[in-house]
Amino acid sequence: MGVANIGIPGLILILIIALIIFGPKKLPEIGKAFGQTLSEFKQSASSLISDEEAAAPKETKDDPEHVKK
């Protein structure tokens, strides 16, 4: 059972607990900060993936170093 199986009732419970802990004034600020952090993480992850693909050597069938014995 993972995070993907939380469901609607679980999300509502989390929201209610967050509202009680942080209050209605602080909750939008926290949501905005979380959204920005998630966006930066996605950009960094996609940048790392594209850098790895660019740095990976292109394998060809004619290249003898890439032929497995």
pLDDT of residue 29: 92
pLDDT tops 70 at residue 4: no
Domain ranges of the chain: 7-45
Task: State how far the Cα of 26 lies from the Cα of 63, in Å rounded to an integer.
Answer: 60
pLDDT tops 80 at residue 64: no
pTM of the model: 0.53
Give the residue, 42 or 3, on which the prediction is more confident: 42
CA pseudo-torsion sign 46, 49, 54, 58 = negative
CA pseudo-torsion sign 6, 37, 35, 28 = positive
pLDDT tops 60 at residue 63: no
The pLDDT tens digits for 5-58 are: 878 999 899 989 989 998 989 988 988 999 999 999 999 989 988 887 787 766
